[in-house]
Amino acid sequence: MEALALVEPGRVEVVERPDPVPAPSEVLVRMTGVGICGSDLSVFDGHREVPGTPWVLGHEGVGEIVALGSEVTGRRVGQRVVVEPNYCCFTCASCRAGFTSGCENRKIVGINVPGLLAERVAVPAPFAWPAPDGLATDELVCLEPYTVGAAASRRAGARPGQRALVVGTGSTGLLLVVHLVEAGLEVWFVEPTADRAEIAVELGARPFEDDDD
């Protein structure tokens, strides 16, 4: 199969890769859409180190299950799934304490294990989340960064009627704006880049001015 790989800083190429065979606890996903994240761009630029080249990029992906490992339950062939691209181990001290984001053995797709910009990828079944109907592929590729915003909103205890300030409206900040506006908050933002600020306004946020109270 083919995959898109970084061959040297600033240059990617389509490379041949052996077709992945799913382990007993994995599903094989035929990728249908993969987003490009800021962290992919820092790998592309050579600013973020990866284990070696050629290195397959990408971690924000959606696809369709085409095969199941022998022990997989709760997933089926033909199911559309979104990949959660941080595979925690569920067994280390952090995982057992519920801090799976602090997993000592965390596999970060596209950073320390090969990425999703490939025709097919073997994904641990618990990290291949069935996608809701009614969302298009290009919406589903935004789901992973959207959940980052949704988690920030949840942890901050965001409630309808509250006022929120989003500092920085890159893609994750913009998705946070979407989330907060939908949740019924009044949203302000600070953002030095004009085109990002313009999108934040389109999404229903207001630029914060120094004399706002």
Name the minimum Å distance from CB 144 to Zn ion.
Answer: 6
Q: What is the CA radius of gyration of the chain?
A: 19
What residue has token string 């001290």? 93
Q: How far is the CB of 106 from Zn ion (least distance, A)?
A: 7
- Report the residue number, 23 or 66, with the smaller CB distance to Zn ion: 23
Report how far residue 150's alpha carbon sits from residue 158's, in angstroms, rounded to the nearest whole number.
Answer: 10
Q: Which CB sits closer to Zn ion, 103 or 117?
A: 103
Q: Does 121 bind Zn ion (CB under 5 A)?
A: no
Phi, psi at 187, each rounded to 5°: -120, 130
Contact 52, 6 (CB under 8 A): no
Contact code string over 29-58 relative to Zn ion, x by CB under 5 A: --------x---------------------
**Site mask for Zn ion (CB under 5 A), range 101-120, x = bound:** --x-----------------
For residue 95, state whether it binds Zn ion (rule: CB under 5 A): yes
Shortest-Cβ-distance residue relative to Zn ion? 37
DSSP H helices, 1-142, are: 38-44, 93-96, 137-140
* Residue 20 neighbours by CB distance under 10 Å: 18
CB of 110 to Zn ion, least distance (A): 8
Which of 92, 135, 152, 190 forms a contact with Zn ion (CB under 5 A)? 92
Establish whether the linkage from the previous residue to 54 is cis, with ω within 30° of 0. Answer: yes
CB of 17 to Zn ion, least distance (A): 22
Q: Which residues bind Zn ion (CB under 5 A)?
A: 37, 88-89, 92, 95, 103
